Amino acid sequence: MRVLSVASEVYPLIKTGGLADVAGALPPALAAHGVEMRTLLPGYRSVMARLSKRPKVLHRYEGLLGVPARLLAAKVEGLDLIVLDAPSLYDRPGGPYGDEGGKDHPDNWLRFAALSRAGADVAGGLLADFAPDLVQAHDWQAAMTAAYMKFSGITVPSMVTVHNLAFQGHFPAEVFGGLDLPAEAFAMDGVEYYGGVGFLKAGLECAWAVTTVSPTYAREIMTPDFGMGLDGLMTRRADTLFGIVNGIDTEVWNPETDPHLTANYSAKSLKGRKANRRELDMVFGLDPGGPLFIVVSRLTWQKGMDLLAEAADDLVAAGARLAVLGTGDAALEGAFHAAAARHRGRIGFTLGYDEPLAHLMQGGADAILVPSRFEPCGLTQLYGLRYGCVPVVARTGGLADTVIDANAAALGAKVATGLLFEPMRADALRSAVRRIVSLHADRAAWTSMQRQAMRADVSWEKSAALYADLYAALIEGSRT
Ligand code: ADP
């Protein structure tokens, strides 16, 4: 099977979130299932810098939605890439979506419509050496691929994968003229959304199938509480909506070999965790002793960080320590600075994005807190499982699908891997903290839970097989 993946970020070339991890991890994981995946991504400055001096030109556009552009072939870190080189759209400072100050680029509609148009062209047979059997487009930035395919009469099956329904790519109706779509596309079953243009909505409407990154989130987005205005559309699509949980790179995240740890360890011998804990205490200025809880997260409302800030005093009162690594809303950053100042030696806060420190935290702390209000899949709880840093998570989305709660039955059967709580309120989080502190005091039960967590399968193996099965079914369906 030949599959074209269209994505606005791909690890390790360009990353702002979990989408990049998935787009980068799927091609090698799928190769084992006979899937030849090529990835189309924008030629941002940082991506162009990774290409050879004379990359192979696959196609030259005189005007791709009015813009000069080329499709280049590249192999980077084992990934088979098609890079959309369009300097007027992508050769600029800042991140993939915004300027250096974090402000969205005003022409994002054009930048990602062009990406999607190119994706549809490749689907339609533009390239001599690669005619895909299926196209998988990720998130709103690539979702229009499915719309362009539909309105160009391209009959290759299309799939849109939603990593977070909160980001939808809404633009005013005026941009429609620049999309080079037939007038009929500006309709309910096309790109129109509440009088404007909705990129994700268009993809969800036009794709043959929709996937999201966990079965529970797939169910949740059919309800008004989680559907972000698209629950009606998702409900209509229930038969072609699938949830497949993300895996993680178990080489990059391996406590036995992780170079960012002070001491490596395995499920057999957890001894090394002590040295990592001591290092963490130093980094975060914590007094030794007491169970250590960590947070590695964007500091936002989605992640429930306001609930955590509210519960911080009780966490300290329960005898625990807290180390927080993150950036995000200024008010929440302020709240964690204040909590750290109030509880010197008990709460530590590091403002910033620090991958090595994130590894050390998983390798030295007792538990990771993920109190998200909604969570399509979540990755940090998977790292927690892999490192025996017990996840304490909200019962929502992918968190509910990947952690087995330490209730009496699960503890008795030795299958518990963490702790789930609901509702998403500060009082529930506080009682979860008390529960885990008392569990932590029972050393035998705790160690057994850590080991069980480390045995959980968090690799891409199973999920890659599910994707491959789904591709095959859609391709089969297109032939009959
Ligand atoms: P989301 O994509 O919604 O932010 P995920 O849990 O799916 O949440 O993925 C977040 C990713 O970013 C994880 O790999 C996590 O370790 C990483 N991350 C988030 N904040 C930080 C930070 N401050 N420092 C290092 N890594 C971070």
- Radius of gyration of the chain, Cα coordinates, nearest whole angstrom: 23
354 CB under 6 A from ligand 1? yes
Calpha distance 226→236 (Å, rounded): 15
Residue 325's contacts (CB-CB under 8 Å, 6 or more residues apart) are 294, 295, 296, 297, 350, 352, 354, 357, 358, 361
- Give me the pLDDT at residue 82, please: 98
Positive or negative: CA dihedral 209, 215, 217, 221: positive
- Give me the pLDDT at residue 279, please: 98
Q: 3-class secondary structure for the chain?
A: CEEEEECCCECCCECCCHHHHHHHHHHHHHHCCCCEEEEEEECCHHHHCCCCCCCEEEEEEEEECCEEEEEEEEEECCEEEEEEECHHHHCCCCCCCECCCCCECCCHHHHHHHHHHHHHHHHCCCCCCCCCCEEEEEHHHHHHHHHHHHHCCCCCCEEEEECCCCCCCEECHHHHHHHCCCHHHCCCCCCEECCEEEHHHHHHHHCCEEEECCHHHHHHCCCCCCCCCCHHHHHHCHHHEEECCCCCCCCCCCCCCCCCCCCCCCCCCCCCHHHHHHHHHHHHCCCCCCCEEEEEEEECCCCCHHHHHHHHHHHHHCCCEEEEEEEECHHHHHHHHHHHHHCCCCEEEEECCCHHHHHHHHHHCCEEEECCCCCCCCCHHHHHHHHCCEEEEECCHHHHHHCCECCHHHHHCCCCCEEEECCCCHHHHHHHHHHHHHHHHCHHHHHHHHHHHHHCCCCCHHHHHHHHHHHHHHHHHHHC
- Give me the pLDDT at residue 244, please: 98
Quick one: which atom of ligand 1 is closest to the CA of 18?
A: 2
Token reading at 23 = 């787009």
Residue 271's contacts (CB-CB under 8 Å, 6 or more residues apart) are 263, 265
- Give me the pLDDT at residue 17, please: 85
260 CB under 6 A from ligand 1? no
Calpha distance 203→210 (Å, rounded): 9
Distance 473 CA to ligand 1 centre (A): 33
- Give me the pLDDT at residue 480, please: 81
**353, 361, 369, 389: residue to mutate for ligand 1 pocket, most atoms within 8 A of CB:** 353
Quick one: which atom of ligand 1 is closest to the CA of 379?
A: 6
Distance 322 CA to ligand 1 centre (A): 18
Residue bearing the CA closest to ligand 1, atom 22: 353
379 CB under 6 A from ligand 1? yes
Calpha distance 448→439 (Å, rounded): 11
Calpha distance 283→238 (Å, rounded): 48
Residue bearing the CA closest to ligand 1, atom 4: 17
325 CB under 6 A from ligand 1? yes
Report the relative pairing of strands 134-138 and 158-162 from DSSP bridges.
parallel
Distance 182 CA to ligand 1 centre (A): 40
Residue bearing the CA closest to ligand 1, atom 15: 380
Quick one: which atom of ligand 1 is closest to the CA of 375?
A: 3
432 CB under 6 A from ligand 1? no
- Give me the pLDDT at residue 102, please: 86
**379, 389, 403, 458: residue to mutate for ligand 1 pocket, most atoms within 8 A of CB:** 379
Plot region of 352 (φ>0 → left; ψ -120 to 50 → alpha; else → beta): left
Are 292 and 365 a contacting pair, CB within 8 Å?
yes
Residue bearing the CA closest to ligand 1, atom 19: 297
HSE-up (13 A, CA, CB side) for residue 326: 27
Taking Cα atoms as reference points, which of 42, 41, 140, 20 lies closest to residue 91?
42
Quick one: which atom of ligand 1 is closest to the CA of 327?
A: 23
358 CB under 6 A from ligand 1? yes
Q: How many CB atoms lie within 10 A of CB 378?
A: 31
Distance 326 CA to ligand 1 centre (A): 8
Distance 368 CA to ligand 1 centre (A): 13
18 CB under 6 A from ligand 1? yes
Distance 297 CA to ligand 1 centre (A): 5
Distance 416 CA to ligand 1 centre (A): 24
Distance 17 CA to ligand 1 centre (A): 6
296 CB under 6 A from ligand 1? yes
User: Which domains, ranges and CATH numbers included, belong to the chain?
Assistant: 2-247+461-479 (3.40.50.2000), 272-455 (3.40.50.2000)
Quick one: which atom of ligand 1 is closest to the CA of 246?
A: 7
Report residue 281: phi and psi, to 5°: -55, -40
Report the relative pairing of strands 196-198 and 170-171 from DSSP bridges.
antiparallel
Token reading at 152 = 């160009």
Taking Cα atoms as reference points, which of 179, 209, 177, 203 lies closest to residue 189?
203
Q: How many CB atoms lie within 10 A of CB 92?
A: 13
Residue bearing the CA closest to ligand 1, atom 8: 378
Distance 295 CA to ligand 1 centre (A): 10
Q: What is the mean pLDDT of each run of 10 residues along the chain (480 residues)?
A: 98 92 95 97 97 95 97 96 98 95 95 98 96 98 98 97 97 98 97 97 98 98 97 97 96 96 97 98 96 97 96 95 97 98 98 96 98 97 98 98 96 95 93 94 94 97 97 94
Taking Cα atoms as reference points, which of 353, 400, 358 lies closest to residue 375?
400
Distance 362 CA to ligand 1 centre (A): 13
Report the relative pairing of strands 367-370 and 347-351 from DSSP bridges.
unpaired
